[in-house]
Amino acid sequence: MVDALDYYRQKYEATKEGSKEAAIAQMRRKTSSDFERLASFHLVTTVDSKLLESQIRLQTTKKKGNISVFLIHPEDEVEEGTLFLDLVDASWLVTNVIDLGGVMKEVQAYKVNYTLKWMRSPGEVVETMSRVLNGFAQYGLDINKYLTIPDNQRIILLSLDEKTKTIKRDKRLMIDGIPYIVRKINKFSFEGCLELTLEETLLGEWDSAEICDFNEPIPVPPAPVPTTYMSGEKTIIRGMSESYSLFVGTTRVVSGIVWSINNPDFQIEVQNGIAIVKAPSKISLVGSTVTITSQYFGVSRTLQAKCVSLV
């Protein structure tokens, strides 16, 4: 594909046909029309620095040393630090985006080889995909450039996003069951990426096999269910009235209640959700009882009151 772009560029420069902008536009059209026809074409899901997912069109090409190179469709955009998901049975971390003459972009990416997990706050575990470098590792596109990493250290590349930007120096991280401590944070070698230099440290009391300083997620107790109950006096003075209400927690229910009584010698009146029950005035009915019933959302509750006399 790049050779084809060079061909069109040379053709327009040699013949002087049109402007440079016209030549680039022509190359973009030609590239776009051919892009999805090749066997190397893939439609890929991406995750950017804001942790938003989208899709882009790309083509796979030959590796350059330890780095994989992809070509991006002329109409699509991608930034450093983006993650490519499930591309050629792997995920990839974009470390460089190079413009190819205004026609399309070349992306250089590391294959992800480890899922890093850590505690961002008490009870909160976060994770991200990363590239762990160790031993005698090639670094960057120059196949002759290598890093010699001490046995007790690791270099790890991450996307610089909403999760990873909270990682600070002296943060303890677990890699393959071995605890490390962050000694250096580099945000400049690869734009949009975070490069951490880690040094092996001692296993801590609260370390798990995957997470340093792991705390069990703090359980959130269920919200208490408000108690529903009736309120009112259990005695009613002969010839007088008492009021009865239904409460849910501390809130009085004002609608949706059906009130009733079981003794026709008593009288009931409902005002604003309150049942007003009047005792009979006959002296012969002193000592009689009435059951006040409230029905609310299919549930009945009762309270019994007795008619009493002051004399």
Q: Which two tokens stand for residue 33?
A: 């029309």
Domain-embedded: residue 212? no
| Statement to judge: residues 163 and 183 lie in one domain | yes
Where among 109, 136, 160 does a domain terminate?
Answer: 109
| Statement to judge: residues 88 and 140 lie in one domain | no
Domain-embedded: residue 170? yes
Q: Which two tokens stand for residue 154?
A: 């690791």
| Dist. CA 81–CA 71, nearest whole Å | 16
Mean pLDDT of the chain: 86
Torsion of CA 44, 189, 68, 31, to 10 degrees: 60
* pLDDT tens by residue, 22-62: 777 878 887 888 888 888 899 999 999 889 999 999 998 87
| Statement to judge: residues 176 and 239 lie in one domain | no
Query: Residue 74 is part of a domain; what is its CATH number?
Result: 2.40.10
Domain-embedded: residue 219? no
| Statement to judge: residues 98 and 118 lie in one domain | no
| Statement to judge: residues 9 and 86 lie in one domain | yes
| Statement to judge: residues 100 and 122 lie in one domain | no
| Statement to judge: residues 7 and 103 lie in one domain | yes
Residue with tokens 């009979």: 280
Supply the range of the domain harboring residue 64: 2-109
| Dist. CA 69–CA 99, nearest whole Å | 13
| Statement to judge: residues 149 and 100 lie in one domain | no
* pLDDT tens by residue, 162-180: 899 999 999 999 999 999 9
| Dist. CA 198–CA 172, nearest whole Å | 9
Query: CB within 8 A of 215, min separation 6: which ones?
Result: 119, 122, 123, 206
Domain-embedded: residue 161? yes
> In Å, what is the CA distance from 97 to each residue of 9, 70, 86, 260?
21, 10, 20, 77
Contact 36, 76 (CB under 8 A): no
Quote the number of domains for the chain.
Answer: 3
Where among 72, 92, 109 does a domain terminate?
Answer: 109
Where among 109, 143, 169 does a domain terminate?
Answer: 109
Q: Is the pLDDT of residue 142 over 60?
A: no
* pLDDT tens by residue, 246-273: 999 999 999 999 999 999 999 999 999 9
Domain-embedded: residue 181? yes
Model pTM score: 0.61
What is the arithmetic mean of pLDDT over 235-240? 94
> In Å, what is the CA distance from 36 to each residue of 2, 5, 30, 102?
15, 16, 12, 19
